[in-house]
Amino acid sequence: MIKVGVIGATGYGGGELVRLLAFHPAAKVRVVTSRSYIGKAYHEVFENFRHDEDLMVQEENIAAIAKECDAVFLALPHGAASRMVTEDLLRQTRIIDFGADFRLSDPAVYEKWYKVEHGAKDLLRKAVYGLSEIYRERVRAARLIANPGCYTTCGILALYPLIRESVIHTDGLIIDAKSGVSGAGRGLDLGVHYDEANENVRAYQVGCHRHTPELEEQLSLAAAQAADRPPGQPIVLTFTPHMVPMNRGILLTAYARLTKDYSYEEIHAIYERYYGKEYFIRLTKKGISPETKWVKASNFCDIGFTLDERTGRLIVIAALDNLVKGAAGQAVQNMNLMFGLEEKAGLELDPVFPA
């Protein structure tokens, strides 16, 4: 049985992780921490865990937790993990970080977008970007996983096959995405108060959202593997996120120009070649677009597309649950690979509907 520690277990992502691991066949949560609820029973923070009266919230002592646990998940604000993770910790346990500290290869880019100094630049080369469907073999061998962001998971999975196969032009890419309010975290913020968020849709961080460089870096790596693309041309794209008045879920729409005339069947065949055997990626049928309600509380990412012959554009739509495939579920998927388990272990959950 894999002994698990969750540091930052009282946020939305940490709570979702504990929920998923509660029924995992080969893992057991041994330690949960929080800076606000030390000494409380975990079910006093989240009443839905009343079945587990023994799980107590502890103080954040990663050195002690690393000695006790086989895997430690860091569900912390950006900037925290790079000040905590060390070579010594990685020799004792495996780390899966929910934050952005190890997602970007260049610390200068990280510091520019996140406005915080990176505390472990020497570990960046050891971190593996934990998008299992793309980096599965690297994840298996990793000691430190950078769990991807929710928007980026959706965007990368939607566009990766198209960029690898040079189906779309990589200049002028536009990604528009809508997220439920849980994506903003559990902290108090005026923008997520009921009266502010309900009956309202708003764009935020327009032109400066922190997931932009993550999208650009990963899609640029995909482009570099395309046989007919000149090297040294990083992708620059437009990404605009929106907050919508629902608890959870992301719906992402990407717009791209086709490199030549394609039929629907040709593009579908490309997606099928990349994702046809991927359990957690579901391709929708022609004429059916993904919806957030069909992925809620699951680890699935649904992808569909429409050919706009009038404009020569391809419109790709993807949906996932930001707390599961966009965070905790993906983290469990990575843990499964790291420990040689069945990749679906603990994650074979059908979406919840209605909810």
The pair phi, psi for residue 344, each rounded to 5°, is -85, -5
Structure tokens at 62: 């990663």
With contact defined as beta carbons under 8 Å apart, do 334 and 147 qualify?
yes
> What span, in angstroms and rounded, lies between the C-alpha atoms of 134 and 234?
19
> What span, in angstroms and rounded, lies between the C-alpha atoms of 9 and 76?
9
> What span, in angstroms and rounded, lies between the C-alpha atoms of 267 and 214?
25
Instruction: Please report which helix (H) or strand (E) contains residue 148, including its range.
Output: none
Q: State the first-to-last Cα distance of the chain, in angstroms, to the nearest integer.
A: 32
What DSSP string runs through 37-65?
A: -TTSBHHHH-GGGTT--S-BEE---HHHH
Return the ∠ at Cα 131 (arms to 72 and 223), rounded to 5°. Answer: 145
- 150 belongs to the catalytic site: yes
Structure tokens at 170: 């990589």
Active-site residue identified among 69, 150, 154, 301: 150
Pure H helices in 22-145: 42-45, 62-68, 87-92, 107-114, 132-140
In one letter, which amino acid is 124? L
| Residues tagged active-site | 150
